[in-house]
Amino acid sequence: MASRVEILNQGGFRSDGRRQYELRDMSIDLSPQGTADGAAVVAHGLTQVMVSVFGPREAKMRSQTIHDRANINVELNIAAFSTGERRKRSRGDKRILEMAATIKSTFEPVVQTNLYPRCQIDIYVQVLQQDGGLLQTCVNATTLALINAGIPLLDFVCAVTGGVHSTSPLLDLTLLEENDIPHVTVAVMPKTAKVTLVTMETRLHVDRFEEIFRLAADAGKVVHAEMKSAVRARTGTLVAAMGAGPRAGAGETEKDGDGRMNEY
């Protein structure tokens, strides 16, 4: 009875009890995963994605090396158990390839690849749970994993999905909402307020687009604050564990991307 659920009920509540502009609970785990150079597990509500970053390292194949910068390689895998209906998706699935390409093109202008010529940065995205906003979660998790791996970025990349129900805009849609209403995913670089990704697979009225777009970009800044504090906390623990250097909370100068972040 999925169609029985009201997207936005009379009291202004969404189907999961959120208000229009309320984002889902966001949990970030930056602890190391296996041999990866950097990893992040990010959950927006029930959508959970794990990203492992390897590199920068020497490119395995000569054909993939670029002489003046690093090559970014994104591989996406959706766990069969991640959706309500168990479904195995092959690697060659067009949607998966498309999503991986989207992530790749989102990060190419952000990662300072020119610092690592003839190198390769591997990003493995593993989707663990899906409940809407998959791309947004992937992008946020990739940002954090890259930061965690110590790869210099120009800025954070923070993505949020926005949709519109009739005339009321909604943020951070669940799967149920995504199925029902037109939506657009926007990724912003909060410091420069640049947008690196806008994607929309449904039809959205042009009059509504600007409003949603702005809203999603604003929401990106809120997500940014959350991500930043997670990075900061993680760095703090690391520094404290090393038993040297400044106290926890002041260790953000370790990464140059983060250092600039404080000016913002």
Partner 1 sequence: MVEITIRKRPRTEAVITQRKFFKKTARGKVIKESNLFSPPIILLQTVIEEVRHRSLPLYNRLNALIKMDEKRIWVFYNEYRSETAIIREEGETPNDRNDRGIRKAAAWYNDHIRVTRPPIRGQAPPKLPTVVLMTEDVANRQKAEKAGISCISVRKYVEGMKEPTQLLDLLAAEGSNEIEPTKAAAGRQAFYPDYIPTSTLLAGVKTGELHQGHFNANQYNYLEGSVSVPALSKPILLIGRENMNRAVHGDVVVVEVFDEKEWKAPADEVVDQDSTLKNDDVEDSGDEGDDEEDQVTRREKQVLLSEEVKRTSEKQPTGRIVGVIKRNWRAYVCHIDSTSLTSSNATSLSQQTVFATPVSRLLPRIRLRTRQAPTLIGQKILVTIDRWDVTSRYPEGHFVRALGKVESKEAEQESLLLEFEVPYRPFGKAILDCLPPQGDTWVVPPKSDTSPEWRDRVDLRDLIICSIDPPNCQDIDDALHARPLPNGNIEAGVHIADVSHFVLPDNPMDSEAASRGTTVYLVDKRIDMLPSLLGTNLCSLRPYVERLAFSTIWEMTPEAEIVNVRFTKSVIASKAAFTYEEAQIRKDDPNLQDELTAGIRLLNTLAQKLKAGRMAAGALNLASPEVKIHLDSAESSDPIDVEQKEMRETNSLVEEFMLLANISVARKIQETFPQTAVLRYFSFTHFQGYRIDDFGSRRHLPPPRTNFEKLQDVLMKRKGLALDVSSSGALAASLDKCIDPNEPAFNTLVRIMGTRCMLSAEYFCSGSVGRDTFGHYGLASPIYTHFTSPIRRYADVLAHRQLAAAIGYTPLHATLHSKSHVERVLDVVNRRHRMAQMAGRASVEFYVGLALKGRNEREKGCVREEAFVIRTFRNGLGVFVSKLGIEGLVMFKREIRFDADNYTIAIPSSTAPDAQDLTISVFDKVMVNIEVEKDKNTQRGRVKMTLVHPVDSSLM
Task: Determine how β-strand 119-129 pairs with β-strand 71-78.
Answer: parallel
Q: How far is CA 117 from CA 6, 46, 48, 112, 113, in A?
A: 52, 38, 33, 10, 7
Per the DSSP assignment, residues forming a β-bridge with 52 are: 39, 124
CB of 187 to partner 1, least distance (A): 16
Q: Which is nearer to partner 1, 6 or 93 (CB)?
A: 6
Q: Which is nearer to partner 1, 38 or 169 (CB)?
A: 169
Q: What is the CA radius of gyration of the chain?
A: 19
Contact 148, 193 (CB under 8 A): no
CB of 220 to partner 1, least distance (A): 10
In the structure encoding, which two tokens stand for residue 137, read together? 């979660």
In the structure encoding, which two tokens stand for residue 18, read together? 């959120």
Phi, psi of 55 (to 5 degrees): 120, -175
Q: Which is nearer to partner 1, 37 or 172 (CB)?
A: 172
CB of 121 to partner 1, least distance (A): 29
In the structure encoding, which two tokens stand for residue 95, read together? 């949607």
Q: Which is nearer to partner 1, 6 or 256 (CB)?
A: 6
Q: Which is nearer to partner 1, 53 or 171 (CB)?
A: 171
Q: How far is CA 74 from CA 64, 105, 200, 259, in A?
A: 13, 10, 21, 26
Which are the contacts of 3, defined by CB distance < 8 A and separation ≥ 6?
none
Which are the contacts of 61, defined by CB distance < 8 A and separation ≥ 6?
none
CB of 264 to partner 1, least distance (A): 17
Q: Which is nearer to partner 1, 100 or 219 (CB)?
A: 219
Backbone dihedral region for residue 113 (phi beyond 0: left; psi -120 to 50: alpha; all else: beta): alpha
CB of 28 to partner 1, least distance (A): 11
CB of 65 to partner 1, least distance (A): 41
CA distance 217 to 161: 9
Contact residues: partner 1, CB under 8 A: 1-4, 6-7, 10-11, 13, 17-18, 21-26, 164-166, 171, 179-182, 202, 205, 215, 218-219, 222-223, 226
Q: Which is nearer to partner 1, 2 or 241 (CB)?
A: 2
CB of 182 to partner 1, least distance (A): 6
